[in-house]
Amino acid sequence: MINTFFFDLDGTLLPMDQDLFIKDYFTRLVRVLKQHGVDSDTGTKGVLYGTDLMMKNEGPHLNEDLFWQGFSQVTSVQKEDVTELIDHFYATDFQEVIHTTSPIDDIKDVIHTIKDKGYRVVLATNPLFPKAATYSRVKWANLEVDLFDEVTTFENYHASKPSLNYYQEIMDKMNVTAQQVIMVGNDVKEDLAIKGLGSKTYLVTDNLINRENLEIVSDYTGSMAHFREFIEKIPHVKV
């Protein structure tokens, strides 16, 4: 029986133009790195290479370690050299990227409805971002981090979507089986991959992403409005 909801963030709980978000985010980050003497071209290549290593990660290394390994390999800049600069970036300039998102006013009610029925809730957002960036986006979505029993960031995960190792790592931490989980997301490739472990899925179609035009195979499909109706009907978790 299902007792745990995994939620994607970007495009699901936080509607956004994902391409615009990434472009604006990376542009601002690279601009800040220039303050440390990293030119735009090198900075961009470093960020992209570090991100690519995380996207291909299947363990055992943390995503964070692989990102900095790749970034340093391209730019010759070590993590400790720019930690203060990066921390300041996420506290200031990164906050301007909120303009690429469209928060849902009553999304908190959705999470509360699920939790009130006894389910555990995981923010299963692709752990390609540091905690500061993820926690900020949670706030942009009109949510609080403590609403979730687990939040995946690049500091604490060893794989990324659509790797089954990523989903299995969450399940191991939460002590649940795949059959006890339903994944709610908007990306056909990344979020529906969890079906490979045997979990149920709900594909939210408001900001649907299907870059490879894959066949859509999901247990449930519908808008966020339909999803609200869906959770009103789900049973309470039996203790």
What pLDDT, on the 0 to 100 scale, is given for residue 238?
A: 78
What are the CB-based long-range contacts (under 8 Å, 24+) for 195-203?
196/164, 197/164, 197/167, 197/168, 197/171, 199/6, 199/167, 200/2, 202/227, 202/230
Question: Alpha helix (H) ranges present in 129-163?
Answer: 131-140
181 forms beta bridges with 4
CA-CA distance, 109 to 105, in Å (whole number)?
A: 9
Task: Confirm if 177 and 197 have CB atoms less than 8 A apart.
Answer: no
Q: What is the mean pLDDT for each group of 10 consecutive residues in the chain (239 residues)?
A: 97 95 95 92 95 97 98 95 95 97 94 98 98 98 98 98 98 98 98 98 97 97 97 90
CA-CA distance, 127 to 114, in Å (whole number)?
A: 23
Domain spans of the chain? 4-16+102-233, 19-99
4-16+102-233: CATH topology is Rossmann fold (3.40.50)
What pLDDT, on the 0 to 100 scale, is given for residue 105?
A: 87
Q: Is the pTM of this model over 0.75?
A: yes
